[in-house]
Chain A
Amino acid sequence: MKKALLFFLWVLVAVPMLAQQRQVTGKVTDTRDGTPLLGVTVSVKGTKAGTATDVDGNFKINVNGDATLSFSFVGYETITMAIGNKSHVIVKMGPDAKTLGQVEVSTGYVSKRRGTITGAISVIDGKQVESRPAGNFLHNLQGQAPGAYIMAAGGRPGAAPAVFLRGIGSINSGTAPLYIVDGQPVSGSDFSLISPDDIENINVLKDASATSIYGSRGANGVILITMKKGTKNSRPQIDYHGFYGYADINRSKFKMMNTKDRLDYEVFIGKRAADDPAIPELLKNDFNQSKVVFKPSQTQSHQLNVKSGNETTTIYFSGEYYQQDGIYFDNKFKRYSSRLAIDNQTTKWLKSGVSMYLAYMDETTPNETRNSLQNPGMLAYMLMPYENLKNDDGSWKKFLQYQAYNGARSQLWSRSQGLTGNANDHLKFLGNAYVEADIRKDLKFTSRFGMNLSDYVTKTWNAPELAAADNGNATRRFSRWSNAIWSNILNYRKTFGAHSINAVVGTEYNALTDYDFSTTSRNTAFPTLYEFGAMTVANTSSGSLSKYRMFSTLGSVNYGYKDRYFADLSIRRDGSSKFGANNKWGNFWAVGLLWNAKNEAFLKNNQLISDLRVRASIGLTGNDDIGFYPSYSINSKSNYESKPGMVPTQASNPDLAWEKKRKFNVGADLGLLDNRVTFTLDYYRELTYDMVLDVPVSYLTGFSSIKANMGKMQNNGVEFSFKTDIIRSNDINLKVTGNFTYNKNRVTELYGFRDELLGTGTGILVKVGYPRGQFKYNRFSRVNPDDGSEIWLDKNGKETTNYDGGDAVILDGKNMYAPYYGGATLDFNYKGLGIFMQWNYMIDKYMVNNTQAWLVWNNDSWFNTNRTADLYQNMWKKPGDIAKYPKYGSSTAFDDRYVENASFLRLRDLTIYYNLPKNILSSTKVFRNARVYARGNNLLTFTQWSGYDPEYFNNLELGIYPVSRSYTVGLDLTF
């Protein structure tokens, strides 16, 4: 019945039209490799008729007589084709060099065409960070953007690395860039809860023109992250990304004494009789304890996402499971995340949408206390080689016989038994909702409200077996961190004749509240129960509430003349609760200029040069990352005899204001041969001044320091990057990219009355005329051949047997921050089989090998722990010995012996992949894309560093949780 009715209708409506209309079919492919292009818009000129290509690049369209078809696709040159009376056409489309300049780049509050931007912005494709075995994707930016200095602060899965752009930008305040995810500020550690596979791209904003619109938070640069969205009018697309693999300890050059060496050493120093009857028994065991303590750990990740869209609504949603165990045996990290983004054309003039990210992270964390022998990273080397740590069944022994360092040994057993431990779980909501109204054709109003909400629970527990006095205890800390942002932005964008304007004015309100409490309880009802319900005595509790509020007005205008000359002007005024009563408000600004030479007549038709732009900018930005209440006079709780007591703990400074940074940048972008080869070069000078320093004062003031705006520091440097598609053909493709940064940091002024930053003991010096991170240590001279004691050099270079902190000298050129760094990638594929490599390097980076110091000290305090293999051979034994290490019993000291060059070149990523051929995939009718790969991370490292891992963000390396080496196999599927 239904069919009959339909046929009747068809006859009525369609038959009369058949006379004029006919169907044209065709296929659209990429000129470069012949792959079908999906989603190309095909339209009939002069009519409203249109369609899009399917997954195989095929399309069908009805035309009247001899029509002209137009094919357009983002990033490709639009093709117009008169088809005559053909009924089947083959169309090849190539990338459009011109449109590269037209690509819209988000600069935060407004997006701009790439060819109009006066600022220094690096763009990283989300593909460069997805599906890597790192719990925090920031690790994967290492070496990928010029100017970005990224360094692991330990290898625990999910731990955030240290990140800074264009040198370290502050002495005392925060140095991390501002991270913005779809308009919402987040912190670097939040990325342990964000699936990298949801990231569309990452824009790194560096100079004044790009960052001063972020005002008091822009000084350290801005990293803008745009998340994935659905695409309009597209067939639903499902992507699966998954990998599985394992990680192991990366590298360590420490070689410890084996049983024989160890026993010889013990006999020599008189701690064991040469004829000790225990020796033959001990010799039966010879363990490399680091192999016993560290374990290979597994990693897996699965992510599914769906993109879809029709005329009015687009949608993206995803779900992810990520699991990574650490190489410390009691370290586990799991993440579950899900994202939903909907954008809707609500009325003709109003667009609205929401995006929501919900993630849950659950981890058990090991003891990674740096300054502790209980940390497996330290313990692994300190355990005696003749000690079997494990029972026959493979479990850790409860009591060890030969490792005597207090408590350290029990860690293996007690943590593996779950008798003590730490665990965190973290719930994150990140979302925003917006409306965007077209007031007039050229004027758009956007109001966006975003919320970044984190609930963080930290747990520790000790079983009665370990905490006998308490009969078991447990601690919980809960913290809730919320950061709400509401921005209202008016965007005017118009071109009149030769003039173009893209202007923005707006307001923004930012409200951050950090709230926490923690409590401990003890006396458990049953030894295996650690929840509070089973504990009978509540012990202690504490908590705090901190608030930060910021209100801002901002404006910027991008003016262009004849598409050749552009000027950017931006202004922001921020008021913040962090600052002193006399300095609540600050103004920030920038001016940028651009000459887009490609659009000049003399280059317009040049075949070689496809892009040439010259940029310059100058401006002022601020840094407000200095804590919540730095300007107040503060008295804090300090009770006596159970009665309330308070003591002054911070001196007030009502004049305290932002740290300021003046930035200057000149740069050029050059593209050759349809941008198959591109170069970007930038030179910058950045001056941080009015730094918020803890100004050292006499302790007679009651404080060691008072916060004030003082001092100056420069970061001047050069950044260079290139991208080339060296070979681009149907079968063979080769892409090479690379970047290099040189940054020269120098402190040029501190307090005026003093040219050295206060600080004793650590060996890091901040001094006028020297870079931040300068090492200063006493100089070791030699071991006295006569008596085996240590001889140092005093500050005048004379030998002395007296170690005095006052003899420490500045070690020129030895700095904890590498001045030279960068990376390179190579991607080669042949008929779908490819190899991808990513390298990064840091040059002239120094670090103190404190682990080494702990492993070679040669006295009673360290006797009970194993020592490095060469200690016995190279220690002073008798008068006349020219020895590397002093005699046994030397109290020793910390000096320049342990400052080592930690420069490195590392093969961060090596991937071998295979993209399944399209024709095979089409025949399956299921898959659009399929890719399998095997990936190794940190496979090779070239360095002189003699200890653990050279990649560690600290001046001291002391039993760190090392960055691991991982091997994964993965699969990407598109349905």
Chain B
Amino acid sequence: MIAINKKIFLAAALGASMLMSACSKKLDQLPTTSVSTDEIYTSINGAEIALNGVYSTFYKSDYYGRNYVVIPDLAADNMILSAWANNVYNEIHRWAIHSGTYETLNYWAVAYPALHRANVFLANIDKVPVLSGENAEAVATKKKTFKAHIQALRAMFMFDLLRVYCKYDLNDQLGLPFVTAPTTEIMHKRKTVKETYDQIVQDLNDASAAIGDDNASSQTRVNKYFIAALQSRVYLYFQKWDLAIAAADKIMNVATFGYETTGANLLKVWRDDASAKEIIFKPAITEVNEAKNFSIGQWLINDDVARNKPNPDFIAPKAFAESFSAADLRRTIYFRKDSVRNYKKDSLYVINKYPGNPAYASWQEKSNAPKLLRYAEVALNKMEAAYYIDKSVSKTLLKALRAARIPGYDGTIVDAYDDVTLLNQIREERRKELAYEGHRFFDLKRWGLGFTRNREGDYQAAENAVGEIKADNYRFQWPIPQAERESNKLIDQNPGYAN
């Protein structure tokens, strides 16, 4: 056997052990699929990546991807839960929401991190350096417009939270808890509704002043029209009629916006997500992963290729669907009368506002971008605000809307309305035009109206005939989720809830 020299062996082994001690540098391991916040804001390109991150909030199914679009109608009188539906949204639909209900937590858990992202962006954007080879002026302009985007989005997210959790009363103490810079504080008190409202208005005004014509023709990014449309909505909620009208006019005075007046074009708005005239803002769908975030039609229609007949979880109340006159273009576009897989007795009104964009069909069935800001809503905002200022303006706008939706509509009907009828008709028209776009619950709450849901047939889940919900029902303000309250001891619950 070959003799191994013991000394050489030991020296080698010792050397190797020593070498190993030098490995302690290896203890600094960085993640390979993520980066730190500091690293992001080291260039304007990095900031743009963070900006896109804030925009990606629109893809959350607990927010605009589904819940925020469906729930306001499902919680009110525009939708009924089918007998065969899964248990989802059960507590919402039955008006049994409590602080442990998933939807209140899930929404909260999306909206507040979204606000945090906006806050992080605003806290860091000014630090972004101009790198060599970059034009300082161009970078400064980008910073300014990016900031406007983020402020507008922050206003939108905050207003959406306010709509759910607060009363629309500037004297009410229970506004949102919020911060305008990143925080690591564990507990936060609610601010007043006034403070919340002021912050929203402030952000929108700042954004409006800074946005200029950036992205003016884009329907998928913040631009001046996005801001104006949102302003008209915010002011309407707080009965600032003049301001609501002024904001609405920033859109209504632009010739390129208006109504689609033919059935074919109106269908394109809803089926193809396409209309330069009607759509102000919709979340972008440009690839398969984005299309997958929007499957509202899967819930409302659910007719996969293999089994042609729909099987919706939620359907339209018969009376509501039939309140659209036969001549109304919307009737056949918003509804599809069909027998469904689980109910073959007779045809039902399947909600067809999200029939699936054929352009995305290979990515995701029944995928449509929700139209979050629309010309028609702006017009309805102005119509309603004008009622309190100048009723003739309201009538003109109501006639215009109906003329666009109901070919051959006789405008003199509107002229004959007395004041009470006019208000009711404005509200009824708003319900119809904006059905299934996430407005109904908030509008009822805003108007101080309750509603009655009737039992209409076997296809309706037995447990869902709730009867009358009065205007003063405490559940018009959703409960602050238990999960927030368990760590944040300073936050007050909305009245009425057990905890």
Contact = CB atoms under 8 A, between A and B. Distances in A.
A699 B112 contact: yes
B53 interface: yes
A439 interface: yes
Interface string A500-529: 000000010101000000000000000000
B96 interface: yes
A637 B284 CA distance: 17
Contact of B98 (A651, A754, A804): A804
A956 to B, nearest CB: 16
A803 B487 contact: no
Contacts of B105: 760
Contact of A544 (B33, B179, B362): B33
A728 B55 CA distance: 78
A642 interface: yes
Interface in A642-696: 642-652, 695-696
A633 B37 contact: yes
Interface string A368-407: 0000000000000000000000000000000000001010
Interface stretch (B12-20, B165-173, B196-204, B330-338): B12-20
Contacts of B342: 404
Contacts of B102: 761
B27 A486 contact: no
B113 A702 contact: yes
B486 A549 contact: no
A702 B122 CA distance: 14
Interface string B112-140: 11011101100000000000000000000
A646 B10 contact: no
A638 B40 CA distance: 14
Contacts of A577: 26-29
B186 interface: yes
B357 to A, nearest CB: 13
Contact of A645 (B49, B83, B462): B49
Interface string B184-220: 1111100000000000000000000000000000001
Contacts of B177: 698, 700
Interface in A398-440: 404, 406, 435, 437, 439
B31 interface: yes
B300 to A, nearest CB: 15
Contacts of B113: 647-648, 699, 702-703
B183 A701 contact: yes
A468 B10 contact: no
A192 B84 CA distance: 42
A646 B486 contact: no
Nearest to A579: B27
Interface stretch (B61-69, B85-93, B239-247, B444-452): B85-93
Contacts of A761: 100, 102
B323 interface: no
Nearest to B36: A633
A649 B29 contact: no
Quick one: which of A439, A629, A804, A861 has the most chain B CB within 10 A?
A: A861
Nearest to A270: B458
A47 B216 CA distance: 104
Interface in A332-386: 346-347, 349-350
Given A469-B305, A646-B35, A702-B120, A641 B290 contact: yes
Contact of B484 (A406, A437, A644, A699): A699
B1 interface: yes
A879 B457 CA distance: 24
B289 interface: yes
A708 to B, nearest CB: 11
Interface string A270-297: 0000000000000000000000000000
B345 interface: no
Contact of A488 (B16, B99, B305, B362): B16
A202 B371 CA distance: 64
B59 interface: yes
Interface in A946-973: none
B50 interface: yes
A349 B188 CA distance: 70
Contacts of B481: 760
Interface string B304-335: 11100001000000000000000000000000
Interface in A530-568: 539-540, 544-551
Interface string B69-103: 00000000000000111110010001010111110
B24 A640 contact: no
A828 B461 CA distance: 63
Interface string B25-56: 01111111111111010000000111111111
Quick one: which of A548, A577, A647 has the most chain B CB within 10 A?
A: A647
B409 to A, nearest CB: 38
Contacts of A861: 83-87, 461
Given A488-B20, A699-B108, A700-B177, A439 B120 contact: no
What is the size category of the interface that chain A forms with chain B?
Answer: 35 or more
Contact of B10 (A347, A445, A548, A638): A445
A706 B116 CA distance: 14
A861 B35 CA distance: 45
B359 interface: no
A507 B21 CA distance: 8
A122 interface: no
Contacts, number: 283
A640 B52 contact: yes
A512 to B, nearest CB: 10
A806 B6 CA distance: 74
A551 B33 contact: no
Contact of B4 (A347, A758, A891): A347
A437 B16 CA distance: 15
Quick one: which of B29, B90, B286 has the most chain A CB within 10 A?
A: B29
B463 A860 contact: yes
A507 B59 CA distance: 50
B413 interface: no
B34 A635 contact: yes
A393 B491 CA distance: 65
A637 B289 CA distance: 12
B179 to A, nearest CB: 6
A639 interface: yes
Interface string B401-438: 00000000000000000000000000000000000000
Quick one: which of B177, B186, B361 has the most chain A CB within 10 A?
A: B186
B23 interface: yes
Quick one: which of A439, A643, A807, A864 has the most chain B CB within 10 A?
A: A643
B306 A437 contact: no
A437 to B, nearest CB: 6
Contacts of B484: 698-699
B487 A640 contact: no
B27 A551 contact: yes
A860 B90 CA distance: 12
A634 interface: yes
B486 A638 contact: no
A648 to B, nearest CB: 6
A642 B287 contact: yes
B183 A469 contact: no
Interface in A773-828: 794-795, 802-807
B483 interface: yes
B389 interface: no
22 contacts: A447-B16, A469-B304, A469-B305, A488-B16, A548-B29, A549-B26, A549-B27, A637-B34, A640-B56, A641-B52, A642-B290, A645-B52, A645-B55, A646-B50, A695-B186, A698-B186, A699-B484, A701-B182, A761-B100, A804-B100, A890-B463, A891-B96
9 closest A-B pairs by CB: A702-B116, A805-B100, A645-B52, A806-B499, A699-B112, A696-B487, A641-B284, A889-B462, A640-B55
Given A445-B10, A650-B34, A804-B99, 17 more contacts: A540-B289, A545-B33, A549-B27, A577-B27, A628-B29, A636-B34, A643-B52, A645-B52, A645-B54, A647-B50, A699-B112, A700-B185, A702-B119, A702-B120, A806-B98, A861-B461, A888-B462
